[in-house]
Amino acid sequence: MITLNKAVARKVLKTVDAGLCRGKGDPRPGEMCVEAAVCYALDLPHGDEPPCVGEAVRSYKIALNDCFWSSNKARARGMRKLAIAQLRSNEISQDSFVELVRFKGITQSLPVILRCWAEHRDCKNKKQVLAAAAECAAAKTLPLAIAAAQNAYAYASASAYASASAYASASAYASASAYASAYAYAYESASASASASASAYASASASASIYRRYLTRKLGKDFLLNLSAEIALEALIELKSPGCKWLDLCADEMAA
């Protein structure tokens, strides 16, 4: 039986603060993904399936971990609070976590992407895009948020949506929430299903790389990824994930 306490949480944070890499990595500090870091801190065999982390939370974290952060240190800095809050998240409702992430993705992340698109030189309907962003931000329930996201999809470019899905897992929920399957690990296929056809998606993905570079210049390298982490952290706090009681360990900033 695994014992989770503040000392273990402290070890998790120390392991994460050494840096996080894309993919499962190797069992050495600074060369693991976020879930492998938890396994390492718990003295479990090297892997990315710590039993104290809920499946939907784990899937979301892995998707976010494997996004293209500006550096391994930036990845660790952006996800260190999540690494602690997720402990014992197997005890919370995974469906509720998914719903909260979808809702927050639409109301917090998608409006940012839409407003940036409205300022892009290729946007031909700025007024409608800004109105769609405002509708997404104002949604009070998940059904209303999904309806707002569907309306936004009608106005935003395909490249903006493909960019959202590829850029961060929370943005995937924002951009394809009405079409998404349950867990964050499916975000690429969810976005593909939102496109009219596979060829249309491929075209959108190609132009999305240009738009992602625009977003990076506009918002900063890790802005949307950090926002994705914050969205998940908010969801875990609202659902009272037991690991949140150790978030005080994160008060000291990670060394640069």
**Confidence check: pLDDT of 24 > 80:** yes
Q: Among the listed ranges 10-14, 15-19, 209-213, which one has the minimum average pLDDT value?
A: 209-213
Name the band, by pLDDT with cuts 50, 70 and 90, for residue 203: very low
**pLDDT above 70 (res 234):** yes
**Of 76 and 207, more confident:** 76
Confidence (pLDDT) at 215: 74
Q: Is 19 exposed, middle or buried (0-12, 13-18, 19+ CB in 10 A)?
A: buried
Q: What is the mean pLDDT of residues 43-55?
A: 93
Over residues 185-192, the mean pLDDT reads 31
Q: Look at residue 184 in the predicted model and tell me its pLDDT.
A: 32
* Residue bearing the bigger pLDDT, 211 or 168: 211
Tens digits of residue pLDDT in 135-182:
989 999 999 988 888 787 776 655 455 444 444 334 443 333 322 322
Mean pLDDT of 206-210: 55
pLDDT at 119 over 80: yes
Specify the pLDDT at position 137.
Answer: 94
Alpha carbon distance 1, 42 (integer Å): 11
pLDDT at 68: 79
Provide the pLDDT confidence category of residue 134 given band limits of 50, 70 and 90.
very high
* Residues in Cβ contact with 135 at an 8 Å cutoff, skipping those fewer than 6 apart: 148, 151, 152
Give residue 178's pLDDT.
29
Q: State the pLDDT confidence band at 54, using cuts at 50, 70 and 90.
A: very high
Considering Cα of 109, then 64, then 92, then 88, what sign does the dihedral take?
Answer: negative
pLDDT tens digit string along 82-117?
999 999 999 999 989 988 888 888 888 888 888 887
Q: Which of 238, 227, 242, 247 is nearest to 64 (CA)?
A: 227
